[in-house]
Amino acid sequence: MTNHFNYKSLILILTAAFTLCVFMFGCSTAPPPALIKARAAYEHAVSSPGIAENAQVPMHEAKKALAKANEADDEDEMTHLASLAQKKIEYAVAVAEKNMADKKIEQLDQEKHKVLLDTRQYEIERARKDAELKAQELERKAMEAEAAQKKAQEAQMKAMKMQMEAEAAKKDAEARAMEIENLKKKLSELQATQTDRGLVLTLGDVLFASGKSELMPGAMLSIDKLVMFLKENPKRNLLIEGHTDSVGSAMSNLALSQQRAESVRMALLARGLDNSRITTRGYGENYPIADNSINAGRQKNRRVEIIILNEGISGNSMLRN
């Protein structure tokens, strides 16, 4: 906004006038600089085109504040009130300039509707389009930034998930390794053999009385170890198979093999094992593992095989045909 006189020159003139007042008329005390500055600011605002008209209420408040400063009793109060008046004057000027700017914008808008093809209209339209393009570009960048942030968050979440899964897998592997190690130790103690049907513990003919089904005392150590193992592995079931050699009738051999399998079952039940986990079957001479024509072969065939089935497998599902 163009002013009709220099603001600094006005302050110098007023300062000189007050100084002259002191020497010519015997003024007792010169006003403080803050008051001089506030007076000059008010005069400048009043004389500036459009200020008073566009900020009537703020200018009225500024005028009252300046009057209070002029009427103050001492210099400190005068300085304080002058500073307040200065701020009100500056506020009034700011309000006026904003109102004038708003009116100018409104005027330009009116000119836009009246003269669509003049240079001013073209510049306004171009500026508007530039602003729209810039806004669209900023919106696009904001969307890209948001998408990138979302992608980064997803990647971070995925990495965290993978790390957690890796840690869980490591713990599972360690637990499984420990379980396998414990299992190997137990197998060593049981003297069991790993097969595709499960773990096979063989009770030989020497653990039964000759031609009888009762277990000899020497078998109880293996039975006790077996019970301990099964209690530590509650998901494993048992299949107990009785076998004989080919000496004697097939019917008597079948009965003896079943009775010996039942003897093992009863020993396990006596030590607290759940009956639902045990399946027994006698096969007589049907499944030899050695030559029945020689004594050593027949001794190997006279046996009870205790199959510790893999987890979740039932005994009935593993019976021989």
Please write the tens of the pLDDT for every residue from 32-45: 999 999 999 999 99
Clarify whether residues 214 and 259 are in a common domain: yes
Distance CA 52, CA 58 (A): 9
Clarify whether residues 211 and 230 are in a common domain: yes
Sign of the Cα pseudo-torsion (263, 267, 268, 274, in order): positive
Distance CA 181, CA 59 (A): 93
The reported pLDDT for the residue numbered 115 is: 66
Clarify whether residues 106 and 77 are in a common domain: yes
Domain annotation covers residue 177: yes
How far is CA 262 from its chain centroid?
58
Clarify whether residues 24 and 105 are in a common domain: yes
Per cent of the chain over pLDDT 70 is 88
Among 125, 154, 189, where does a domain finish? 189
Clarify whether residues 196 and 182 are in a common domain: no
Clarify whether residues 207 and 314 are in a common domain: yes
The answer to whether the pTM exceeds 0.85 is no
What is the amino acid identity at position 28?
S
Closest by CA to 260, choosing from 272, 271, 245, 273, is: 245
Domain range for residue 160?
134-189
Domain annotation covers residue 126: no
Classify residue 129 by its DSSP letter.
Answer: H
| Percent of the chain as helix, strand, coil, to the nearest 5 | 70, 10, 25
Q: How confident is the model at residue 175 (pLDDT cuts 50, 70, 90)?
A: confident
User: In this predicted model, what pLDDT tens digit does every residue of 196-254 receive, in sequence order?
Assistant: 888 899 988 778 877 889 989 888 988 998 999 999 899 999 999 999 999 999 999 99
Cβ-in-10-Å burial (0-12, 13-18, 19+) of 2 comes to exposed
